[in-house]
């Protein structure tokens, strides 16, 4: 299959579905990742975080570790992402160029606004894709309940997921301990649900054989 992940930030893939991507690549599928922002952002005190050029280098290193092809669209900095037809068209072009069989994106009710907008853009572009999955990324609570139905056993791929996350040296220095605590706890929980040691989980929007 040709698989496309659509995210808001360069490390979204690694945090949310890095293990699944590694497994899919090992199984012979081709995986692409389209990222909508340049991943830079400004804190409340005016401090700017994440240099886009460095983030791109970190992402390319992570992509090599997991085996996917990175596509940076760089529409805007973080927290400035908005829905627009031109962004949908950009994703449509990728879908058509690579003849995408499965699109994975973030859950439409994620706690992070950029993630919700990325999901809206991706789902608008995915109307003719036969398989569409969404995954929860943020550990913050929302009024909605994520209900996974599709699980991927990543027991053998978890170390590769963790190693790929560590490629993002800037964010890892800031919140790496939270990342690792989250991805392990989440993988253990989904593993219990799926009947394996460690898993990633998706809600199914559409899955046509």
CA distances in angstroms from 80 to 32, 136, 171, 192, listed in the order given: 24, 21, 19, 37
Question: CA-CA distance, 183 to 139, in Å (whole number)?
Answer: 10
Confidence band for 49, pLDDT divided at 50, 70 and 90: confident
Residue at token pair 């900095």: 77
Q: Kindly report the CATH class assigned to 2-207.
A: alpha beta
Question: CA-CA distance, 181 to 122, in Å (whole number)?
Answer: 28
Question: CA-CA distance, 75 to 185, in Å (whole number)?
Answer: 33
Q: With a cut of 90, say whether residue 46 has pLDDT above it.
A: no
Contact 125, 92 (CB under 8 A): yes
Q: With a cut of 90, say whether residue 142 has pLDDT above it.
A: yes
Q: What is the share, in percent, of the chain residues with pLDDT greater than 70? A: 100
Q: Does the predicted TM-score (pTM) go above 0.85?
A: yes
Per-residue pLDDT of 184-202, as tens digits, reads 999 999 999 999 999 999 9
Per-residue pLDDT of 59-79, as tens digits, reads 999 999 999 999 999 999 999
| Pairing assessment for the beta strands 41-42 and 48-49 based on DSSP bridges | antiparallel
29 backbone φψ class: left, alpha, beta (φ>0; ψ -120 to 50): beta
The dihedral built from the CA positions of residue 129, 2, 113 and 19, taken in this order, carries a sign that is: positive
CA atoms within 13 A on the CB side of 68: 33
Spell out the domain ranges in the chain: 2-207
Structure tokens at 111: 């706690």
Alpha helix ranges (H) inside 126-195: 158-165, 169-194
CA distances in angstroms from 93 to 39, 100, 159, 160, listed in the order given: 22, 10, 33, 30
Q: What's residue 44's pLDDT? A: 82
Mean pLDDT score of the chain: 96
Contact 78, 40 (CB under 8 A): yes
Q: What is the share, in percent, of the chain residues with pLDDT greater than 90? A: 95
Per-residue pLDDT of 77-88, as tens digits, reads 999 999 999 999
Residue 2: closest CA among 86, 78, 100: 100
């Amino acid at each position: 299959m040709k698989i496309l992940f659509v995210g808001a930030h360069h490390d979204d893939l690694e945090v949310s579905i890095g293990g699944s991507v590694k497994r899919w690549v090992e199984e012979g599928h081709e995986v692409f990742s389209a990222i909508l922002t340049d991943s830079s952002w400004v804190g409340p005190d005016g401090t700017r975080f994440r240099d886009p050029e460095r983030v791109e280098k970190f992402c390319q290193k992570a992509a090599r570790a997991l085996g996917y092809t990175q596509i940076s669209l760089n529409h805007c900095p973080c927290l400035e992402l908005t829905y627009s037809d031109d962004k949908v068209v950009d994703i449509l072009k990728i879908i058509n160029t690579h003849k995408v069989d499965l699109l994975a994106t973030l859950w439409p009710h994620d706690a992070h606004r950029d993630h919700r907008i990325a999901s809206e853009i991706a789902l608008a572009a995915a109307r003719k894709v036969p398989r569409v999955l969404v995954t929860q990324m943020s550990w913050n609570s929302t009024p909605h309940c994520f209900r996974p139905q599709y699980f991927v056993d990543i027991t053998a791929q978890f170390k590769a997921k963790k190693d790929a996350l560590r490629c993002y040296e800037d964010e890892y220095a800031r919140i790496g301990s939270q990342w690792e605590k989250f991805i392990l706890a989440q993988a253990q929980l989904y593993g219990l649900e799926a009947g394996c040691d460690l898993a990633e989980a998706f809600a199914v929007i559409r899955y046509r054989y």
